[in-house]
Chain A
């Protein structure tokens, strides 16, 4: 029972970041119809920016975190303007190929810039874990969860309570009608991609210090983000949030009770099973085939 509790707590800690990654991807996917293969690279970018700011420039950890996220937003906006703007209206396969090309170029640029050696980032949190009855959790993981939940909340408010968010939702529902109503679709796309990229960079900036930063770290993160999107359904923030925690729980239980070697396979198996039996995701009702 204690073991089960510990697994549940671990899943809670991990799920926040998965949700963050999934929300970024689901927004880009839903609003822009772009399968964003650079998502994992933005995640790695966030982690490396933390490394550069904290370890190389000596910036305080709590200042570096918002800076790294802001840089992720900026890189996302740049990618959208340079790569995607001219592809608006192109079919989904074409944009997918461009994103794969960008992903390969970005990942290897990271490898060239930072070498393949993993970088660790020091945190100001105490090394002793927080002990709650029979279970324990590291302080930095608690911090990660809290920040992730704050960012999820901010994103939710941004989408549902602001003018920009309303324009985004309108674009998601019907791009042409939104354009006719005076929504500048180009700007919405840039904002969406920048926001999604910022969330991915935030995920990397939060988890980079917990683990280490290495050039291909984004691949697994992106794969998990895809799993979360499939679980939660297209374009749904609550779905992606819940999907993040479900994926984390399935992984934890799979690693704990089946085999730790297959931990990362759980997400992929989940994707396959969900698409077979409930192709609209667990929460959405929108038809996805096509």
Chain B
């Protein structure tokens, strides 16, 4: 493909995606697309850590959930007793501000976890990341005064901006699409920047990267912060779209879903999480249409994951581009 054709192709794609709500009059399918889009944003953010920085983070859903909870709480307002004589009261804030707070909270926890977790690598990093999300989940279950525990946060308001309420599905679809495109562009810019090259270098050979003067921890923490903020944005979108958040957003299975999306599509490629996200976002609907039980659906996921690692270890996107060029 010539370099001049690329922007035209990209514009055609975006135009096609923008047009979907005009001709797709099935609200359920649109809902599936919105949720898929939210997961694609989360998968893209995971790809930054997993694909480019080379760190298999299995706690990624923590940032998604923290973004969802923080955004929901700020938009609803909350009152919490931190110490017996110190009660923190936050009045309900506009939703756009709440979403920013959600991203900030997720980014801050990404910084914190990045600072401590990148002391270890490989299997130990994986175990620390899983432990982190479990602790956060148990806090969400048990800190009932703040999170309502298993009773969930209900009646979360939808986003309102410029006098417009993002209540209906087409509006939410365009919102998610906009955030997804912005995230894609951001990751693209970051990856092709000096910081992005440093991340790839240290993913490929950390001792070598260190020896040429790359500050490994600094770039890993940078990747973690950007990645967590983006996952937090996805979580905030999710909270104000489905308008209910409970501790189940921290379930490990969602992290696994993101990982499968990235691995299948192709880690360390820009289009990989989008392709993988579309496949695994829409596959459950196909399986449901074929009247397959949910357990069987997950069995298919698990088996597919094994098969992809065996037969397409680099993922779909690299396999396709290699075949073409």
Contacts and interface: CB of A to CB of B under 8 A. Distances in A.
Interface of A: 29, 35, 83, 86, 92-94, 96-98, 100-109, 111-112, 219, 223, 226-227, 230, 259, 261-262, 264-265, 267-269, 271-272, 275-276, 279, 288-290
Interface string B77-99: 00000000000000000000000
Interface string B129-147: 0111011001101100000
Contacts, number: 120
Contact of A223 (B123, B130, B141): B130
A101 B257 CA distance: 11
Contacts of B141: 261
7 contacts: A29-B123, A35-B126, A101-B303, A112-B295, A226-B130, A261-B141, A264-B134
Given A35-B127, A101-B306, 18 more contacts: A35-B123, A86-B310, A92-B123, A94-B309, A98-B310, A100-B305, A101-B304, A105-B306, A112-B299, A223-B131, A230-B124, A264-B134, A268-B131, A272-B128, A275-B127, A276-B116, A289-B122, A289-B124
Interface of B: 56, 116, 119-124, 126-128, 130-132, 134-135, 138-139, 141-142, 252-253, 256, 259, 263, 293, 295-296, 298-299, 301-306, 309-310, 313
B203 to A, nearest CB: 11
B123 A94 contact: no
Contact of B132 (A102, A111, A272): A272
Contact of A230 (B116, B127, B135, B295): B127
A223 B131 CA distance: 8
A8 B131 CA distance: 25
Given A35-B126, A83-B306, A271-B127, A105 B134 contact: no
Contacts of B256: 100, 104
Contact of A97 (B132, B138, B259): B259
Contacts of A109: 295, 299
A230 B127 CA distance: 9
A108 B295 contact: yes
A226 B119 contact: no
Nearest to B121: A289
Contacts of B303: 101, 105
B299 A108 contact: yes
Given A97-B259, A219-B252, A265-B135, A226 B127 contact: yes
A264 B138 contact: yes
Contacts of B135: 265, 268-269, 272
A105 B302 contact: yes
**DSSP class of B's interface residues: helix, strand, loop or mixed?**
helix
Query: 10 tightest A-B contacts by CB?
Result: A105-B302, A101-B305, A104-B302, A268-B131, A261-B142, A101-B306, A108-B298, A108-B295, A265-B138, A112-B295
Contacts of B142: 259, 261-262
B274 to A, nearest CB: 20
A261 B138 contact: yes
Contacts of A112: 293, 295-296, 299
Nearest to A226: B127
Nearest to A268: B131
Contacts of A96: 56, 123, 126
B60 to A, nearest CB: 13
Contacts of A271: 127-128, 131
A108 B298 CA distance: 6
A83 B305 CA distance: 12
Nearest to B133: A268
Which among A83, A111, A227 has the greatest number of chain B C-beta atoms within 10 A?
A: A111
Contacts of A105: 298-299, 301-303, 306
A33 B113 CA distance: 25
A192 B311 CA distance: 26
A276 B113 CA distance: 11
Contacts of B310: 86, 98
Given A94-B313, A268-B135, A276 B56 contact: no
A100 B298 CA distance: 12
Which among A86, A100, A265, A289 has the greatest number of chain B C-beta atoms within 10 A?
A: A100
Given A96-B126, A108-B296, A261-B141, A101 B309 contact: yes
A101 B280 CA distance: 14
B309 A92 contact: no
A100 B259 CA distance: 10
B309 A268 contact: no
